[in-house]
Structure 1
Amino acid sequence: MDTSSTIAMFLHFGLVGVGCLAVAEKFIPLLPSYVLLMLLGLTVPDGTMLATTILATSAGSVVGALGWYGLGRALGSRRIEGLVTHYGKFVLLRPSLYRQLTDAYRGNHFWVTLIGQTLPTVRIYLALPAGVLRLEPRAFVMATAIGTVIWNMPFLTLGYALRGSGHDPVSLGFWVVVVLIAIELALLLGFRFYKRSLTPRRFAEPLALPSRLPVEEGA
């Protein structure tokens, strides 16, 4: 069964099928997610259905992320690292990438999770180290949901807008990804410079004067 037939099979079940397709994409990426989302957008008949499709795909992606989270939490650090070392290369999860994802959580867990859901490849596997590190589940789900909506909405909307236009969704989706990542990098750099500007500069401390001046003899 080819990819188009698989997608058509899921779409036969309506919004439930769309949600299941989003879950499956987290584990078996049939296509780059932006291509899949734009193809789904091309099948949406009206604005109301577009909104429900955004919700369905986002819910499915969150469920898929919870699957990775649960796997990491259940197996623990040692087993996951062993699996990544031996089999990660077959699913584009190199040990170096896994270590980078784990190290990223040394910062703010909420924002790392949210931003990670808007980065290709990272958005699939970031939940695995989150589970290994046993991040607080409610905050993880909230950040994942927000980041997923931010990722899904533009591509579904663009696919919906391109219905019948004859444009290639793959090439357009690629450039949308480039623009989104460029915006994210600009925002991150701007935030970093802003934080630095708020940091008070350290001036040389003045020499401390003695509390009591010595009294000269005979004074």
Structure 2
Amino acid sequence: MDSPFLAGLLGFGLAGIATLSFAEKFLPVLPSYVLFVLFGLATVQDAADLGGTVAASTLGSVLGAIGWYAVGRIAGKRRCEDLVGRFGKYVLLRPELYRRLMAAYERHHFRVTLVGQTIPTARIYLALPAGVTGLPFAPFVLATTLGTLAWNAPLITTGYLLRDTGWSPAATGIAVGASLLGAEALVILLVTRIQRLRRRPCPAPP
């Protein structure tokens, strides 16, 4: 682990893990699939530590999402659009991505929130349009927590299982991230194919 900053925060144990997980929602400098694998590699000593690390990272991530949700609720639709247009590029939130996230909330709010926490880019900023559209707070937090667990736990566990293999956090995280992105692309391809088949008109009977 080359970063003194990361090493210093991880030295605070579960509090440091929660802080880094919270910060990752606002400063996506280190991809989450690297950061959480790093937690498993560097902080989990045995199976007993695994649950606490997953819980601390989930708490930090959910609090970060609540922060974005609060920004959306307070700023409102027009002001958020202006802020994203002016400053979004500095936090990797392009206006096009923001509009797609807003459009995703036209229906299936709970499912979008839950699944969105397992999509690398969307998981950081999805809470902002959730706040703008005024999603009920309790279901938002529940869906965010479940989705965050589904994302954090496998990555941290992967790091823990690979801690004695000699893999670096970056190499492990990139391999895991590439696998996740490949699986995501395959799912999108299959869903698109199924939708096209459903829209294809049935042949007329002879």
Q: TM-score range by the shorter chain?
A: 0.7 to 0.9
| Conserved 8 A contact 1:3-1:30 | no
CA distance in 2, matches of 1:3, 1:137: 39
Tell me, in whole angstroms, the C-alpha distance in 2 between the residues paired with 1:186 and 1:111. Answer: 20
Q: Tell me, in whole angstroms, the C-alpha distance in 2 between the residues paired with 1:178 and 1:126.
A: 21
Partner amino acid, structure 2, of 1:82: D
CA drift at 1:179: 2.7
CA apart distance, 1:29:
2.4
- What TM-score comes out, normalization by structure 1 length? 0.82
- Would you say the 8 A contact 2:37–2:172 is kept in 1? no
**Which amino acid is 1:155 matched to?**
L
Deviation at 1:197, TM superposition (A): 9.0
CA distance in 2 between counterparts of 1:66 and 1:176 reads 27
Normalised by the size of structure 2, how large is the TM-score?
0.87
| 1:74 maps onto 2:74 in alignment | yes
Identify the residue that residue 5 of structure 2 maps to in structure 1. Answer: 6
Structure 2 counterparts to residues 182-201 of structure 1, below 5 A: 182-184=182-184, 186-187=186-187
**Aligned-residue identity in percent:** 50
Counterpart in the other structure of 1:53: 53
Partner amino acid for 1:15?
Answer: L
Map 1:1-219; keep pairs closer than 5 Å: 4-43=3-42, 44-184=44-184, 186-187=186-187
Superposition deviation, residue 3 in structure 1: 7.2
For the 8 Å contact 1:22–1:58, the answer to whether it is kept is: yes
* Deviation at residue 178 of structure 1 after TM alignment: 3.0
Letter in 2 for 1:151: W
- Taking the aligned partners of 1:52 and 1:188, their CA distance within structure 2 comes to 33
Query: Structure 2: 5+ residue runs without aligned partners?
Result: none
Higher relative contact order (Cα pairs below 8 Å, separated by 6+ residues): 2
Q: How has the CA–CA distance of structure 1 residues 188 and 109 changed in structure 2, closer, same or farther, with 3 Å as cutoff?
A: farther
Distance 2:2 2:60 in 1: 19
Larger radius of gyration: 1
Q: Distance in 2 between matches of 1:107 and 1:28?
A: 29
Q: Deviations over 1:82-139 (max 9, x none)?
A: 1101111111111111001000111311111111111112111110010000101111
Deviation, structure 1 residue 180: 2.6
1:51 Cα offset (Å): 1.2
Aligned length: 202
The runs of 4+ residues in structure 1 deviating greater than 4 Å are 184-199, 201-204
- Per mean C-alpha deviation after superposition, the further-off stretch among 77-86 and 3-12 is 3-12
For structure 1, which runs of at least 5 residues remain unmatched after alignment? 205-219
Deviation at 1:184, TM superposition (A): 4.2
How far did residue 183 of structure 1 move?
3.5
Q: For 1:146 and 1:188, how far apart are their aligned partners in 2?
A: 22
What code does the residue aligned with 1:95 have?
A: P
